[in-house]
Structure 1
Amino acid sequence: MKLISWNVNGLRACVKKGFLDYFEEVDADIFCVQETKLQAGQIDLLLEGYHQYWNYALKKGYSGTAVFTKEEPLSVKYGVGDVDTEDEGRILTLEYPTFYLVNVYTPNSKRDLTRLAYRLKWEDEMRDYLNVLNESKPVILCGDLNVAHLDIDVRNAKSNKGNSGFTVEERGKMTALLADGFTDTYRRFYPNQEEVYTWWSYMNKVRERNIGWRIDYFITSNSLESLLKDAAIHPHVLGSDHCPIVLEMTI
């Protein structure tokens, strides 16, 4: 099974920049996107052989997630806990016979950290939710998690310490989640790989110089470890300020 996750930073714009070519080429079993930035009826994607599931933000042109899957899920949920709705379109959970897939676009704590408190509350709620799911079936979490967990995950770690996405608090939440029985799949296969990132600023020549952050992840329950085949990052794929990431499993 091949899974793809990509923050497309506006799906309509990304479609004009080659999204469908990549989608067809990669032929994923499950393809997750974040930051779709659209409402129902604003795009008509003809993805033959795929079921489509969308979570739209109430605010127009903002956030949003979607999952395109060859196998129809047993159930689809929006939100966490007992709530099956959430205003910013950030969470989609698909239940399959042997696992849960959770596609997430984690809120940014903002440059001045004014949303850090909200972000940390979000992290606690997500962690509780994932742990509850994990008691029932293994979990595959993917998406733009808006945190560079380790120093190796950002180009200029020393100068970025304390910045949004690289605060002690945000990184600590990731550490806590992994300690609860989850695996950062890319680091599982490539623990020491440097200068591999998934997001680059649009500032001049930043991507060309590979001054980036690894903030997009596939995180899986430890119980799935024996089924993991490989993880990859596709920085050559343009169309967004993020690039796609890949997880291959024997499920």
Structure 2
Amino acid sequence: MRLISWNIDSLNAALTGTSARAEMSRAVLAQIAQKKPDILAIQETKLRQEGPTRKHSQILEQYFPEYEFAFRSSEEPAKKGYAGTMFLYQKSLQPKVSYPTIGAPEPMDFEGRILTLEFNDFYVTQVYTPNSGSQLKRLGDRQIWDQKYCQYLKELDQKKPVLISGDFNVAHQEIDLAHPKTNHHSAGFTDEERLGFTNLLAAGFSDTFRKLNGSVPNVYTWWAQRVKTSKVNNSGWRIDYWLASDRLLPQVKESSMLDTGDRQDHTPIELVVDL
């Protein structure tokens, strides 16, 4: 089974935009489509509460024929057109879709951040973890989120093994970002956020990339758009992950990143697992 996860930073912009960046995003979608993943997880869709428009659906059908999709969008009291997640999966799979709430600080449970597919023998779930924000204004709520989300995954794992993807908004170790010393107190690399991720792994889950690839350096999944040279200089962060229940790790064959060329922001991450 081949699974791909990508923070797309606005599905509408990627599908219908006319900028050079939109063209690069569509090239990434075409690259993903060529791989024919069984499941594609997308974060930060930024769709309206009603989900994709007819035009969006038609364009997705062009890229991904023979796929179904499930989505979750931000809804009141959360901001409109904010966050959001989506799965595209091959029609033959027929999973059960759920839209979990975890008791997170309001309005996080209404921001469309978690979407889960249930199969006979395993779960696939994705997350768009809340960012702690400028001046770490949301760090306290983020710590509660991390605890609640960990508990949710543990509950799933007690029933069936779990594959977990998404933008976790944290670089776990110093090797996971280009400039750890100057970002020690930045959102995504605080001691609190890193501890939250450590606790998640300790609950019975593995970072598949590190387990398969060891301490390979200078491999990232996100480069800041606001810094024009971030991708050229590879000044990135690894904040997107495929995690797996520890007992699934022997079945994981590949965990890697797709090459998106000059496009900054997030790059898709890929998992190949023998299920």
TM-score bucket of the superposed structures, by smaller chain:
over 0.9
- Superposition TM-score, scaled by structure 1 size: 0.94
Deviations 1:96-148 (A, max 9, x none): 11111111000000121100011111111110010011000001110000000
- Superposition TM-score, scaled by structure 2 size: 0.86
Name the SS of the counterpart of 1:209 in structure 2. Answer: coil
Question: Aligned runs of 1:88-237 on 2, under 5 Å?
Answer: 88-202=111-225, 203-237=227-261
Aligned pairs, how many?
A: 250
Amino acid paired to 1:67: F
Which structure has the higher relative contact order (CA within 8 Å, separation 6+)? 1
Name the SS of the counterpart of 1:86 in structure 2. Answer: helix
Q: Flag the 1:24–1:156 CA change in 2: closer, same or farther, 3 A.
A: same
Distance 1:237 1:142 in 2: 22
Distance 1:143 1:63 in 2: 12
After TM superposition, give the deviation of residue 196 of structure 1 in Å.
0.5
Distance 2:120 2:73 in 1: 26
Indicate the percent of aligned positions where both proteins have the same amino acid. 39
Amino acid paired to 2:33: E
After TM superposition, give the deviation of residue 162 of structure 1 in Å.
1.7
Deviations 1:4-59 (A, max 9, x none): 00000011222342243123212101100000111224322213111100001123
Is the deviation greater in 9-18 or in 87-96? 9-18
1:49 aligns with 2:66: yes
Verify the 8 A CA contact 1:198 1:235 in the aligned structure 2. Answer: no
Verify the 8 A CA contact 1:51 1:72 in the aligned structure 2. Answer: no
1:76 aligns with 2:103: no
**Contiguous gaps of at least 5 residues in structure 2:** 16-21
Distance 2:143 2:130 in 1: 10
Q: Flag the 1:134–1:238 CA change in 2: closer, same or farther, 3 A.
A: farther
Verify the 8 A CA contact 1:14 1:240 in the aligned structure 2. Answer: no
Distance 1:242 1:81 in 2: 26
Verify the 8 A CA contact 1:76 1:94 in the aligned structure 2. Answer: yes
Question: Aligned runs of 1:9-88 on 2, under 5 Å?
Answer: 9-15=9-15, 16-17=22-23, 18=26, 19-39=28-48, 40-42=51-53, 43-44=56-57, 45-46=60-61, 47-58=64-75, 59-70=79-90, 71-81=92-102, 86-88=109-111
After TM superposition, give the deviation of residue 237 of structure 1 in Å.
5.0
| Alpha-carbon RMSD | 1.8
Verify the 8 A CA contact 2:125 2:164 in the aligned structure 1. Answer: yes
Task: Name the one with the larger helix percent.
Answer: 2
After TM superposition, give the deviation of residue 231 of structure 1 in Å.
0.6
Distance 1:48 1:63 in 2: 25
Distance 1:73 1:221 in 2: 22
After TM superposition, give the deviation of residue 178 of structure 1 in Å.
0.8
Q: Flag the 1:82–1:150 CA change in 2: closer, same or farther, 3 A.
A: closer
**Contiguous gaps of at least 5 residues in structure 1:** none
Amino acid paired to 1:117: G
Distance 2:264 2:159 in 1: 35
Distance 1:237 1:37 in 2: 24
